[in-house]
């Protein structure tokens, strides 16, 4: 492609990007700086970006002030992973069916999925609580995982369906002529070919699950050992004061797994989101 921007257009573009990035990244920077500060230097007036006695102390003391911190992080990771795996088990066959089979109410069901997406999980928290109570599963991992799975499935189906539609029908017909059944074709042919698309869905699901676990854990769980990180962080809120530096240190460490995952998988995300857009 020919580069057709003028110098002032570049200036506009980059200042736009800079503004955008400032909004997104400023909280992270502030969180990091705060996590380095001693607690009593936090509320200094006037505001100082760099204060004396900055150190990584909070990153070490946080483990002892909240002893279960590591457990919370593991819980978070476990819940998100479980949600992702279970959701994919439903999303892959469902989106395959939506992309290939003709059946009654197909489009209405798809539209319904989209509509459900618009209802926030928070609205359904009370009814869900009753359901969990009836089933006697409150205060278990299941109570936090099951609703999480349910909420990510519709988006996943929409995402993966559009990817599967682009896979040529001949591939399946060839497999059918070669004697393979639907399930065999799905596992041996469609899933490997759709792997970039499945990656995108998996990552999107994982991130969604990581973000939404707070509300489910807060309502459906009161067993401390099972809490995920967002709920666990509340223990930094003391009776009299909040241990801000340790709280933010723990938050940043808690984000780390998602961040690392994202860095390593982002090339799949980009290639997955644009796959099929251009003829090879």
Partner 1 sequence: MGQLKLDNVRKSFDTSEVIKGVSLDVTHGEFVVFVGPSGCGKSTLLRMIAGLEEISGGTVSIDGTVVNNLPPVKRGISMVFQSYALYPHMSVYENIAFPLRVEKLNNADVEKRVKQASSILHLDERLQHKPGQLSGGQRQRVAIGRAIVREPSVFLFDEPLSNLDAALRAEMRIELSKLHGDLDATMIYVTHDQVEAMTMANRIVVLDGGYIAQVGSPLELYHKPDNIFVAGFIGNPKMNFLPVSCIDSSNEHVEVKLPNSQTLKLPVNAMEGLSGNNMTLGIRPEHIRFSNGDAIIEAHPNVIERLGIHTVAYTTIADNPNTFCALLEGSAPAKVGTAMSMGFMAADCHLFAEDGNAFERRIPLTEIDPTLMIPDTD
Q: 202: which 2 tokens? A: 């998996």
Q: 197 vs 257, which CB is nearer to partner 1?
A: 197
Quick check: 176 binds partner 1 (CB under 8 A)? Answer: yes
Quick check: 92 binds partner 1 (CB under 8 A)? Answer: no
Q: 97: which 2 tokens? A: 């069916």
Minimum CB separation from partner 1 for residue 190, in Å?
10
Q: 40 vs 280, which CB is nearer to partner 1?
A: 280
CA distances from 65 to 58, 246, 253 (A): 10, 9, 15
Residue 191 burial (10 A CB sphere; 0-12, 13-18, 19+): middle
Quick check: 102 binds partner 1 (CB under 8 A)? Answer: no
What residues are paired with 237 via a beta bridge? 242
Q: The tokens 């029908």 sit on which residue?
A: 169
Minimum CB separation from partner 1 for residue 194, in Å?
10
Quick check: 180 binds partner 1 (CB under 8 A)? Answer: yes
| Helices 195-220 and 69-100, axial angle in degrees (round to 10) | 130
Output Rg (C-alpha) for the chain, integer angstroms. 23
Chosen residue from 177, 183, 263, 277 binding partner 1 by CB under 8 A:
177
Residue 206 burial (10 A CB sphere; 0-12, 13-18, 19+): buried
- The piece of 57-65, 89-97, 115-123, 185-193 that touches partner 1 (CB under 8 A) is 185-193
Quick check: 187 binds partner 1 (CB under 8 A)? Answer: no
Q: 27 vs 181, which CB is nearer to partner 1?
A: 181
Return residues touching partner 1 (CB under 8 A).
168, 170-171, 173-180, 184, 188-189, 192-193, 195
């Amino acid at each position: 492609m020919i580069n057709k921007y003028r110098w002032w257009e570049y200036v506009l573009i980059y200042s736009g990007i800079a503004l955008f990035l400032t909004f997104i990244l400023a909280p992270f920077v502030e969180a990091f700086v705060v996590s380095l500060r001693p607690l009593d230097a936090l509320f200094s007036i006037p505001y100082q970006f760099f204060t004396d006695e900055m150190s990584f102390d909070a990153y070490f003391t946080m483990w002892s002030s909240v002893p279960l911190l590591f457990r919370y992080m593991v819980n978070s990771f476990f819940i998100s992973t479980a949600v992702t795996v279970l959701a994919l088990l439903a999303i892959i066959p469902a989106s395959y069916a939506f992309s290939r089979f003709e059946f009654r109410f197909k489009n209405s069901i798809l539209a319904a999925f989209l509509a459900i997406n618009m209802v926030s999980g928070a609205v359904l928290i009370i009814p869900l609580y009753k359901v969990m109570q009836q089933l006697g599963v409150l205060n278990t991992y299941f109570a936090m995982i099951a609703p999480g799975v349910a909420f990510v499935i519709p988006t996943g189906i929409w995402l993966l369906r559009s990817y599967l539609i682009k896979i040529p029908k001949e591939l399946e017909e060839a497999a059918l002529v070669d004697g393979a059944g639907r399930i065999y074709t799905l596992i041996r042919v469609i899933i490997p070919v759709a792997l970039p698309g499945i990656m995108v869905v998996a990552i999107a699901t994982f991130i969604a699950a990581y973000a939404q676990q707070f509300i489910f854990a807060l309502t459906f769980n009161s067993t401390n050992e099972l809490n995920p990180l967002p709920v666990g962080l509340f223990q930094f809120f003391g009776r009299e004061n909040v241990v801000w530096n340790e709280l933010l240190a723990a938050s940043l460490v808690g984000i780390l797994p998602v961040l690392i995952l994202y860095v390593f998988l982002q090339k799949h995300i980009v290639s997955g989101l644009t796959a099929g857009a251009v003829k090879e």
